[in-house]
Amino acid sequence: MNIALLTAAGVGSRMGQDIPKQFIHVNNKPLIIYTLEAFEKHPNIDAIIVVTLPSWIDVLKAYAKQFNITKLKWIIPGGEDGQESIYNGIKEIEKHCSGDDVVMIHDGNRCLVSSEIISSNLATFKKYGDAVTAIPVVEVVFQSEKGDVSKDVLDRDKLWRTQTPHTYTLKKLLWAHNEAKVRNLKRTAATCELMALLGEDVHFSKGSEENLKITTTDDMKIFSALLNVKQEGWLK
């Protein structure tokens, strides 16, 4: 069984809007629904769980019904940070699924995740037992201690930007989060970071610049532009 775990528990402080960014409407549809539809339509995804803000659970249930998201099985409250929210999600999955079931963790505000990205991630997982969506770095990257000056250039040919989804077995995720508690590893930015800190290899699957994480108003503008291009259908 392949389960998509969508994280949507952020308050969206960097967006500066009146409601959490994942519930902002674009073309009369909440952002989280765009993400849910991508996994709803993929033939290899069997079930979906969303971790979100407690006060928005009933709202999300109503949206899921409105937009016919039939694979959404569970909606649960998030935690204090992303790591804790994912832990809440996998503990809920543990109640219903086996340790060998596959969990695909995805940011709820990466709304343009494509079928190809999901398929590539699952194929990489099948080959290696884990998968992290990533794209190569194409810009020149500096490392700076103060954030305003540097002469320390990193080799971009060796750099990769991770995205989501990240895919592991349920038992692997439970092991990682239990180990994090033992080793006092907190507030990791993503599951791949936690796995790396625990000494695990990270295998990359194919990502895309379009698979952007909507965090700021600039990201929202890019998303809206990409969405309109896709709807016009002239770009292959």
**Average pLDDT of span 50-77:** 97
Distance of alpha carbon 157 from alpha carbon 159, whole angstroms: 6
pLDDT above 90 as % of the chain: 88
Cα–Cα separations (whole angstroms), residue 74 to 48, 117, 148, 209, 215 = 7, 23, 45, 30, 25
Its pTM stands at 0.94
Model confidence at 70: pLDDT above 70? yes
Give the right CATH number for 2-132+162-232 from 3.90.550.10, 3.50.50.60, 3.40.50.9100, 3.30.1330.20: 3.90.550.10
**pLDDT recorded at residue 91:** 98
- Give the pLDDT score at 194: 97
Mean pLDDT score, 151-166: 94
